[in-house]
Every structure is written in C-alpha cells, then in structure tokens.
Amino acid sequence: MKTIQRAALLLALLWSAMLSANETELPSIPAVSSPVQGIVTAGRLDADNVRSVHEAGIRHVIDLTLDEETPDFDEAAAVRDAGMRYSNLPVQGASGLTLKNVQAFDTLLRESERPVLVHCSSSNRVGAMAALRAAWMEGKTMEEAIAIGKEWGLRGLEDEVRRRIDARF
C-alpha cells in the first residue's frame, strides 16, 4: 500500500512541475496579461522592460507600434540583443485594422516561438487585432470575438472593431 501512495505522490509532484513549466511567468510591464497559454500581451516596452521580458522566458516579441511612437528607443535592437526574436507589424490605430494586417498578425502568431509577447502602447491594438482575427480567421461570432479581444486588451477600439466585423473586411 505504501508503494502505491508513494507512486501517487511522485506522480502528483511530477504533474505539478510539468504544469508549472508550461505556464509563462508574467513580466512586470504595463498592461500585462496572458489571454492564452504561451501568449502574453502588454503595453509599451522600454529599455528596462526588455530584461524582465527576457527573464520571464519570452522568446519572441511582436511589436504592433510604429517606429515614430518611440523615437528614442530602438526596441528591435534591444530585444535582439537580449536574445529574443523580434517582429514588427505597425498598426496605425483604427486605420491599421485591415484584413491584410490581420492576416499578417495571424501568420506571426502561428509561426512564433512560444512564449511570445505581443504589444502596442496600451494593448488596445493588440486586442483589436485579436478580435478581428477571431472573427475573420476563426469564424467566431461578434460577441465571441469581442470577448477574445477584451481578454487581449481591447478597449477604446471596440466600436471600430464591431463596425469592421459587421462590414466583413
């Protein structure tokens, strides 16, 4: 009987360790969240954040900001210097919520090495892109897509996302 109890305890400990290893530690950065296992969303990064992102185990950073949003910070160089992969898909507010950008966003997410961090200045564009991806690429209903978007950071662009989902591109 003791052998069975020991085996059960060992199995429980191994299972717990495996689950912990699969969870992404959230770095201490603005508007951080993990809406899906292996994906972390956030607001703007600065030079100090890059280290905490790397220390959290992030392997790839997808940046939805335009270069002119951070003229004094070369995020691409900082991320690469820290040993992570960097991709930039500049999304300029509501006008950047296009089918072409959503398709590129979908490709980046599918091909990214996990855990991946996706960010913009506040996570609002991240959430908008996630909602449109859910509707246009995954066939989710309006409300399902909006709920997904909110989990990813959608706030101020919600009305625009609803209009674009209704318009179907």
Whether residue 8 is contained in a domain is answered as no
Whether residue 18 is contained in a domain is answered as no
What is the total count of domains within the chain? 1
Structure tokens at 130: 């996630």
Whether residue 1 is contained in a domain is answered as no
Q: What is the pLDDT of residue 122?
A: 95
For residues 127 and 150, the answer to whether their CB atoms sit within 8 Å is yes
Whether residue 17 is contained in a domain is answered as no
pTM: 0.84
Domain holding 57: CATH number? 3.90.190.10
Q: What is the pLDDT of residue 25?
A: 76
Per the structure, the complete domain to which residue 137 belongs is given by: 25-167
Whether residue 148 is contained in a domain is answered as yes
Whether residue 14 is contained in a domain is answered as no
Name the stretches of the chain with pLDDT < 50: 1, 4-5, 7-22
> What digits encode the pLDDT tens for the residues 124-157?
999 999 999 999 999 999 999 999 999 999 999 9
> What digits encode the pLDDT tens for the residues 105-116?
999 999 999 999
**94/103 Cα distance (integer angstroms):** 16
Judged on CB neighbours under 10 Å (0-12, 13-18, 19+), 66 is middle
**108/131 Cα distance (integer angstroms):** 15
Whether residue 51 is contained in a domain is answered as yes
